[in-house]
Structure 1
């Protein structure tokens, strides 16, 4: 499985902004769900298919979060840039 990955210690007042050069799945996962994702098991996440860029996500609670960007099993490549905005009172 190929995907882009970045980890953050963030909370609901933080905003993660993902800029893409094409469509991709953008998923924000807690550690348990990220482990399930990597193992091919069922998992839950925040985000989804990003058809427009940038995509903005905020976690529902403070903790260690994983951002994964993938093409959903399709071929091709995607470039992604990630910016973290702390304490902006983000809304989903």
Structure 2
């Protein structure tokens, strides 16, 4: 599993902006779900598979969130940027 992981403290209504050089899954998830993701278990997330960037989605709630950029099993030289637009 190849992925990029970052944590962001978000407020309700903040907008996460992700720019990426390759199509990928961009997921925003809780600590519990990030642990499940890493163990290969069923997990919940906000986001999805994106082919066009930048992509934007709104924080579902306040707190610490895990931002995951997942390119699957592909070996790529990934260039990315994660920004938060505050409400």
Same fold per TM (> 0.5)?
Answer: yes
Higher strand share: 2
Alignment check: 8 A CA contact 2:3 2:72 kept: no
- After TM superposition, give the deviation of residue 78 of structure 1 in Å: 2.2
The reply to whether residue 20 of structure 1 matches residue 12 of structure 2 is no
* TM-score in terms of structure 1 length: 0.85
**What CA distance in whole angstroms lies between the structure 2 residues aligned with 1:77 and 1:71?**
10
In structure 2, the partner of 1:90 is none
Alignment check: 8 A CA contact 1:24 1:70 kept: yes
Runs (4+) of structure 1 moved beyond 2 Å? 72-78
In structure 2, the partner of 1:61 is 61
**What CA distance in whole angstroms lies between the structure 1 residues aligned with 2:57 and 2:15?**
6
Structure 2: tracts of 5 or more residues without a match: none
- After TM superposition, give the deviation of residue 39 of structure 1 in Å: 1.1
The reply to whether residue 4 of structure 1 matches residue 1 of structure 2 is no
Aligned residue for 1:38, secondary structure, equals helix
**What CA distance in whole angstroms lies between the structure 2 residues aligned with 1:5 and 1:55?**
17
Alignment check: 8 A CA contact 1:15 1:58 kept: yes
May I ask how many residue pairs the two structures share in their alignment? 87
**What CA distance in whole angstroms lies between the structure 2 residues aligned with 1:73 and 1:48?**
17
Aligned residue for 1:3, secondary structure, equals strand
